[in-house]
Each structure stands twice: as structure tokens, then as C-alpha cells.
Amino acid sequence: MGERLHGTVAPVSGARGLQVQAHIDPDRCVPVAAGLGPPAPEPTVQIEDVAPSPALSQVGGTWPPGGAGSPASSG
């Protein structure tokens, strides 16, 4: 995230990257910003609390999806 100049993130690209991350996940932006040096920005847009997509979620599933020996697990 950002170009490195003498061990620090270039101010413009680093600040923009942190702002984008603050819009996606403000809680994860804090440790990233701490590692880079600048303070974590606050999101400038309202972040909605949405339910995860069942089609994309791996939480609570059985893996591999078809069970052992299924075409999905034979690779």
C-alpha cells in the first residue's frame, strides 16, 4: 500500500490507501496505520452493517463441499 521512500510510506498514496481501508474495515485500518506511522483516518462515508452473503461464506460449512472423495475435493 503506497510507495516506500526511505522506509516510510509516501504520504499521498499511503494516506489514500488508509482512507480506502477505513471505508472497508475501520477496525483493521487501525493496526495497519499504526504499522505505517500516520493516525488511522475516520471513514468519510457511512458504513452499513450487512449480512454476509451465503454464496460467499465459508462459515459453518462442511469442507470439502461435496465431502471426502467428491469431484470438488479430488482437484
For residue 61, tell me if it sits in a domain.
no
Q: What is the pLDDT of residues 48-58, one digit of tens each?
A: 888 878 777 77
For residue 57, tell me if it sits in a domain.
no
Q: Is the pTM of this model over 0.75?
A: no
Please count the structural domains in the chain: 1
Q: Are 33 and 2 in contact (CB under 8 A)?
A: no
> Residue 46 gets which letter from DSSP?
P
For residue 36, tell me if it sits in a domain.
yes
Range of the domain at 16: 11-45
For residue 55, tell me if it sits in a domain.
no
User: Is the pLDDT score of 64 beyond 60?
Assistant: yes
For residue 65, tell me if it sits in a domain.
no
For residue 56, tell me if it sits in a domain.
no
- Average the pLDDT over 12-21 and give the result: 84
- Pick from 19, 20, 26, 28: nearest CA to 48: 26
- Pick from 21, 19, 22, 24: nearest CA to 50: 24
For residue 19, tell me if it sits in a domain.
yes
For residue 60, tell me if it sits in a domain.
no
